[in-house]
Structure 1
Amino acid sequence: MKSIKGDVGLAVCVIVLAAGYLVLNMRLPEVRLSDPLGPKAFPALVGVGLIASALLLLLETRSKRRTRPNTEARKVAAHVEPAPKVQPLVLIGMILWAIIYYTCFEPVGYLISTSVFLLGLLSYFNRKRHLMNVIVAFGVALAFDLVFSKLLGVPMPTGLLPF
């Protein structure tokens, strides 16, 4: 139950902060020099993405709430020990992994560094699903590269790749 309350609290906080972010974004001045979308497009996309993510988290917690009593009853009946808390080494490893990603982003390029970064995270958190991890890591990196470079006209660092 503690996890569900934390997820709901996180989702509500993200929605409130994203709404404030969108309000501040709407207050930006209209400037149309060479960019057809203007300076408001990317921040608006981020704000809408944050709200969508928070809503998905709320939907997930709703489904957890429905299935939770059954699993709690099974745990009591089977005398299963609860899972250990996340170790601090995992958090330190994620921070180091993000620092490595950040330092490699420009020289190696967006596509390679993002794919490797996502693959590393997915391989740890989604073990034993190697093919799915590779498909998701490269698919997400490629999709975002296409969105930013082609749709939004934001040049991404090419790094080692010629394109």
Structure 2
Amino acid sequence: MKINFTPDSSSDIGSGYEKAWQDGRVDLATISATDLRYGWFAYQIDFKVGGHAFLSATREPLVDIMFTLAYSLQGLRAEGSAEINFTENSYVIHLKLVGDRVRFTSSHRAPAVPPECPFEDYAAAVRAFVASGVACLVESRPTLAENPVLDELRALVSDPAGGGTGNQE
């Protein structure tokens, strides 16, 4: 299980925000969740399970990927399944709990044998990805530390009481 990103400061400022950024009219401490999720910090993302690359050097908005992965944990815990999807295309990564393991399939380029990993490994990888993403963003843009969007993101990946999946298939 591997989820990581490659920071690229040339992709920090969202398309269409350059002039406002240069003029000092953008305050990262108050910018909306929607703007952060879809307009800023488009970094290369790698998402691999069992040797299969579901995403490989794909440029996606980091905050959106962090939220999507955090919501996938909630979906797995609550319903036993979740999806990682992308607004700009039809690609979907499907996650399903099978016992205490997560099975991964996708709408495109799916491997013949779907890769799996223990739920706790997936949860740990998502929590580590979100923690490193938040740390990277705050280090490069310190005013982001004041934005409540990052607090919401951290809360989504906090380990629930008991830490289990709630699913006993």
TM-score by length of structure 2 reads 0.29
Query: TM-score if structure 1 supplies the norm length?
Result: 0.30
